Structures are given as structure tokens and as C-alpha cells.
Chains A and B, each alone.
Chain A
């Protein structure tokens, strides 16, 4: 397996090259621009067979993706922040049409105020559109997850779109050592795109996107509900097989020194790497600290999280975004709801941190564990790291 130095964006573009999608339609936006820019260079150099569409906005880009997927193509794109927001009108149509489009999303704060740095508000804003959402801790995971996302999205039981996210600049622009597959191995792993339906197949004409009112709209939403349920097992299966083949196994969650932990942090994305370093340090000092990394946010692994946290005394849920609903961040509100039926539940606190790229340091995580040990009751929502 080749070992390479790659930024998160380069890693995602490399995965796209190996996937060799039929169509990529995109519009540039910082910090995701590089993903599609590097990929478009592959197109120009003849390294892939992809039809590249440089659209005049993200709305058009995602619309072109839908058109291509309707014709039976394997389709990918990439974006961030305002771009993802501008795709919003089309995103639920993609899941409703059951199109396995894979999107490389680089997490960036939403305007306003305008900001180009990392938080999760963009991805969270589209969490209820029937897309699978996978977060990455680093460039390696981004590369691996983009490849897996194709298999997950295209699985017969799922056939839903998927977005794989990295954290803007923290992962997207930082260079790390990653292991990639040989091209042949990747090609074999990804396999041929099985076309289920195509509007271009005159032998088997289909209707897409027709008007659907009180009569059948509701029924036509149910397959998405069902597919999202199925997606959980498929993600686990794909992650396990990936481990068997390439040595790096993935699941819905990753437990880090959690088995006997008394105090746990629950987080998404790159902050998990920072937290692991602090967990090691605290363990050396005798504190039973642990981390629960949530890799998959959609479908939401509620039962699995409740189970994983059942033995800890207290847990802090880290959200890099706010719901502005007075109940805490997205991860927290969903975990809290998932814990309702649990027989044993820890004290839960919510720390909203890092908005607009505000740095979260080792010292910050240390403080969070310290405050967690003093936690007496559930339900606190704290905006951590805000200046007075």
C-alpha cells in the first residue's frame, strides 16, 4: 500500500480519482475548492473518464448531479458552508429520488458573520434531508470514508446519498501521512456501478420527480425512512469488510479507552484526535478518562451511543455548532433523547465550542475533563471558549 503525504483535500480528491465517477458537477468555495480543483486536473490530464461540469452556482451543480444520476451515472461533488446551503433546495430531492450521490463536504461556519473556518453548522443545517453523514477525524479517515461511502450509498438496501465531511483547514489543508490503496485494488473494491434505473433506458421507461400530493407523497417518503434504518447495518458491514481487506476497521462509533472510563467526552471530527491525546495524558495521571467518537451522524446511532455511555459516570457532549433552540447543540440534543429509554445513564453536559474556527487546544480539553469531574447534575449547556 502506498504511503503518501496528503492534505485532507488531496486525500479526498485522490479517493475521487480512484472511484472514477461518471460525472462531477461543482462550484468552487473555500475550503472545499481544492477537492474539485485537484480532481478537475485529473480530468484534464486524462487520468479519469469523468465528465466534469463547472456550474455557475452550487444550486446548478447539485441539479446537474441529479440529472446525471437520473441517467444512471455514478456522481460525486464537493462543497462547503454557503455552497451546501445553496444546494439545500435540491438535497432532499436527491434522497427522495434515491440517488447514491457522494458529496465531499468540508465543514465551514455559516454566514453571518462571514467566516471561512471550521465549525459544523453547515453540515448540521442539512441533517434532516435524508443524506448519510460521515465525519472524519483526519485525512486518512476522509480517504477511507469517501471510498466506503460509494459502497454504502449504492447498496441495494440503502440507495441514499452520502456526504463525507472533513474539518475545514484543520483537516482540509493540513498535510498528514496516509495510506492509500493501489489503483487496481481500489477499482476492484469500488466495483462497477450497477444502474438501477435510467431515464435514458427506453426499454424500461420511468417517471422521476412527478407531482405527488395528499394521495401518495407520504407513502413515497417511507422508503427513505426504511433505507435510513437499513443504512446502519450496511455502514457497519462495509466498515468491517474494509478492515478485513485494508487493516483499518470502521463503525458507527469509535470507543477510545471507554470500556472502564468514568469520564467521557463525546465528539465529532478532528477534535477527537486532540481528545485522544488528552485521554492518554489523563490516564497516565490515573484518571479514568475516555472518548466516544461519533463517526456517523446520519443515520443517528442512538442506541449504540446509549449503550456505549451506560457505564460512565459523567459525559460531556461536544458540539461544534448550535441549534439556537435553548436546548444545546445537535449532537447533545439527539444523544439526550437517545438516553431517555436507557436504564443506566450518566450525567450529561453539553459544551458548544469552536464556532467559526475558534481553536480547541489540548489545554481546552483538559479543562473540559476537569470541569466534568465536578459535574453534579445533567442538563448544563455551556458555550466554551467564548471571551467575556
Chain B
């Protein structure tokens, strides 16, 4: 089946893009667009927010309402937009460094609020843009520009992290499993709450080269070989899980969404101008005086 033409979602005048040959960022970006396309969303009702990094450049290439913000702060801008305009579909495109190192604090708090943001992490386990320094998702013992003898810091499992923090829809996939990504994008957007997609992607230029993986194709093959879908994963022993990772829909547990709770708070207290119990008390007191 021929793929649908998605060029209407692209700002083609911004091309050529900055990504290196073999980089997985284009696959992730395309998959996000295919998800949006299947949902038939109005381009003017979608906001795409990114931070800073190779991955965050994606926002510049997309023809929606876009914001390319500062390093680590994409979620704060996105939160503001969603609060002001809850009717928009807000998509956050971010890197592993952007959302879990310099911006890690915002990630847990956005998840905690269960605000209806759709976060897509281009997780290449490295700071691509600045030359391959380790990030909070660099696997243990892997080589990075700042870890020439191997990374000493155990990586974050971003899905477990956001689950514990309160995200309501969580899935993981890889650029090898590109068609799966679009389905998760659809489910994420449909989830009324904080949705988090951890997309494992390849940076052949820094991560691949430093870890002696021959090229981008080999990196994709590694994703294929090491990914286990959630059903298989559940029956693996701890030993069998070594060096492997789980992909699929990992968490789907709705709970009240933040902008809706906010709206109902406004309706309960502000619009009806019902004085809060405390101010009522104060008023009676002052009348008595």
C-alpha cells in the first residue's frame, strides 16, 4: 500500500534539514505526522513545542503552531499553552537530554499533574547536538564523549519514571518499529491526560561511532534484536531481560486531567463567585465587629 503524502505537514522551505545521514530523527518525525494524519486533525488546532537539541529541531520543519523554546523547558511552555488553550492538541517533541537531564524536573511535575500533553522523546541515549556527551538514558558502561571509559551512572527508564510520577498513557517503541509509533501517537493524543512516548532512535554519528556500531542499519538491527514486546517481556526471567528492553503499550490508566480539573475549579469558585468558607467567616466576623 502506498504511503499517504504527508508533505502538507512540512515546511519544505526549511529543508534541507540539519540531521546527519542515517539519523533516526526523520523516522520519528514522520511517524508522528502519520499519526496526526490518521486522526485527521486540523493543523491549526495542533501546537508542537520543542526544546533544544538535534531532535528539537523537528518543530521548525513542521507546519503547525510551533514553538522552539530553550533547552530543557519545552514542557513548561507546553503547559502554559495547554492551560490557556485547552482545545489545542499539544505535542511536545524533545530529546532524552532535554527532557530528563536539564529539564528532568519539569517532566515529573507535568506527569504528576496529568496535564493533557503528548510527549514524544527522541531517545538516542546521548546529547547529539553538542557532540555525544552521556545523557540520563545512556546505558551503563556505554561510551560517550564524557564517559571515555564507560558510563558509570545507571540510566533512567523514562517509562517507569513517568509512570511513577503519574503519567496516564505510556508506550515505548523504536525507529525500527516505525509503523507501531504512529499507532502509539494516535492513542497518546486520544488519551485525555499526560501521554509519554519513549522512542528509541539512533544517532550513528556519535553514539554509534563511539560504541563501535558500524552504521545506522546495524543500530536498527540492534533495536530489532533487543526489543521485546510486552507479552514476551512478561514471561522473561530477569536473566533473559539482560541487555533487552520492552516495547509496546506499557501503561494506560486514566485519571482526572489537569486543565479539566482547573476548569471545574474555576466554575465552582470563581465564576459562581461563591466566597470561600474562610472569607465567609471573615465577613461574618467583620460584620459582628
Contacts and interface: CB of A to CB of B under 8 A. Distances in A.
A51 B147 CA distance: 13
Interface in B139-191: 145-149
Nearest to A45: B148
B72 A57 contact: yes
B70 A27 contact: no
B127 A28 contact: yes
B197 interface: no
Contact of B70 (A30, A41, A52, A82): A82
B131 interface: yes
A30 B127 CA distance: 12
| Chain A: interface size category | 10 to 19
A120 B37 CA distance: 44
A200 B102 CA distance: 30
B71 interface: yes
B145 A37 contact: yes
A28 B134 CA distance: 11
Contacts of B104: 56
A235 interface: no
A44 B71 contact: no
19 contacts: A28-B130, A29-B130, A30-B130, A33-B130, A37-B131, A37-B133, A40-B148, A44-B148, A54-B134, A54-B146, A56-B101, A56-B102, A56-B104, A57-B72, A57-B101, A57-B102, A82-B70, A114-B52, A114-B70
A287 B127 CA distance: 52
Interface in A312-330: none
Interface in B60-105: 68, 70-72, 101-102, 104
Given A28-B133, A56-B102, A40 B70 contact: no
A111 B72 CA distance: 14
A55 to B, nearest CB: 9
A111 B149 CA distance: 35
Contact of B133 (A41, A54, A57): A54
Nearest to B135: A56
Contacts of A114: 52, 68, 70
Interface in A200-239: none
A151 to B, nearest CB: 29
A44 B149 CA distance: 8
A28 B72 CA distance: 13
B130 A40 contact: no
B208 interface: no
A52 B10 CA distance: 42
A40 B136 CA distance: 19
A114 B71 CA distance: 11
Contacts of B129: 30
Given A27-B102, A82-B71, A41 B130 contact: no
A86 B146 CA distance: 21
Interface string B37-70: 0000000000000001000000000000000101
A40 B52 contact: no
Interface in A24-71: 27-30, 33, 37, 40-41, 44, 52, 54, 56-57
B146, B148, B149: which has the most chain A beta carbons within 10 Å? B146
B70 A111 contact: yes
A82 B127 CA distance: 16
A330 B147 CA distance: 40
Given A28-B130, A37-B131, A41-B148, 16 more contacts: A27-B102, A28-B131, A30-B130, A33-B130, A37-B133, A37-B145, A54-B133, A54-B134, A54-B147, A56-B104, A57-B72, A57-B101, A82-B70, A82-B71, A86-B102, A114-B68
Contacts of A86: 102
Nearest to A83: B71
